[in-house]
Amino acid sequence: MFTFKEWEKTAAIQAYTTRDGGVSTGVYSSMNMGFSRGDAVAAVITNYKIVADAIGVELESFVASNQTHTKNIRFVKKSDCGNGVTKPNRFTDVDGIYTNEKGVTLVTYYADCVPLFFYAPTVTAIGMAHAGWRGTVLEIGKSMAVAFNERFGVPFSEIEVGIGPSICKNCFEVHNDVSDIFMEKEIFKEFVTANAESGKFNIDLWACNKKSLESVGVSKIYVAGECTCCPNNADKFFSHRRDGAERGLAAGLMAIR
Ligand SMILES: [Zn+2]
């Protein structure tokens, strides 16, 4: 699993799963955390059990998002435990979840999209936001920071953010239908690069998310710098762009120790 070294000795349990260590087979091999991909449910549950043991949480503590590329954020509680993992998913259009309750393990899903990990040590609050290119344009990270500020009264300067493994600028090549949307936002313009050879555009989603967070005063931002899509990481991470729809899902996870 990938973890942020900066948070190793803190109250924040955090991880981004790699493909290693699970029981799923074939295109899901081996640590598929997604129930929606066509993999055997029993195998996915076993994978959750393995991960739960590895990070020191209970299987029943998981609370999953219900991601549809929105910027909707939901505060979750102990009474939500099991949602989307050991119980049916009762959420609709929830791309960010956060809590300050112990015994809740946040689960969000990825295969190239940007995982944003939030930790505010002074109020012991955690959050996770799914920022694909749409969530990035919608500035879901900023929405989470604002939610932390409003609910917990924590200043933006005391909110720390980790930008997890996800598609790098070189791999994220798009046509102008997508790049135009980024170019419409002043703060993102500088992170769009035209590729004269291909006639396409590269966008740095890590930089866009960082810039958006900095715009409200979040300054402690850690970038994993690991690409899920680069060919040399094919055995390590699931990637939608590289492998298409026939693949598993990674999970971004957080809990309070
Ligand atoms: Zn890459």
Q: Per-residue pLDDT tens, the chain, 257 aa: give them.
A: 999 999 999 999 999 999 999 999 999 999 999 999 999 999 999 999 999 999 999 999 999 999 999 999 999 999 999 999 999 999 999 999 999 999 999 999 999 999 999 999 999 999 999 999 999 999 999 999 999 999 999 999 999 999 999 999 999 999 999 999 999 999 999 999 999 999 999 999 999 999 999 999 999 999 999 999 999 999 999 999 999 999 999 999 999 99
Residue 4's pLDDT is 98
* Ligand 1 centroid, distance to 156 Cα (angstroms): 30
Report residue 47 as tokens. Answer: 């994978």
Report residue 216 as tokens. Answer: 């409200």
State the CATH number of the domain containing residue 43.
3.60.140.10
Residue 205's pLDDT is 98
- Please tell me the distance from the alpha carbon of residue 16 to that of residue 235, in angstroms, as a whole number: 15
b/e sequence 5-27, b meaning 16+ C-beta within 10 Å: eebeeeebbbbbbbbeebbbeeb
- Which residues does 227 contact at the CB level (< 8 Å), separation at least 6? 165, 166, 167, 168, 170, 171, 233, 237
Residue 197 lies in a domain: no
Q: Which residues surround ligand 1, an ion (CB under 5 A)?
A: 168, 171, 227, 229-230
Q: β-strand 250-256 against 105-110: which pairing, if any?
A: antiparallel
Instruction: Please say whether the beta carbons of 34 and 248 come within 8 A.
Output: yes
The single residue listed with the structure tokens 């109020």 is 123
* Ligand 1 centroid, distance to 239 Cα (angstroms): 10
Residue 185 lies in a domain: no
Q: Which helix (H) or strand (E) holds 252?
A: strand 250-256
Residue 104 lies in a domain: yes
Residue range of the domain that includes 152: 5-167+218-256
* Ligand 1 centroid, distance to 241 Cα (angstroms): 10
* Ligand 1 centroid, distance to 133 Cα (angstroms): 15
The H-assigned helical ranges of the chain are 41-55, 133-137, 140-152, 176-183, 205-214, 240-243
Residue 212 lies in a domain: no
Instruction: Please say whether the beta carbons of 54 and 18 come within 8 A.
Output: no
The H-assigned helical ranges of 57-194 are 133-137, 140-152, 176-183
Residue 209 lies in a domain: no
* Ligand 1 centroid, distance to 171 Cα (angstroms): 4
* Ligand 1 centroid, distance to 235 Cα (angstroms): 14
Domain count, the chain: 1
Residue 146 lies in a domain: yes
Residue 16's pLDDT is 98
Instruction: Please say whether the beta carbons of 7 and 21 come within 8 A.
Output: no
> What angle, rounded to 10 degrees, do the helices at 205-214 and 140-152 form?
30
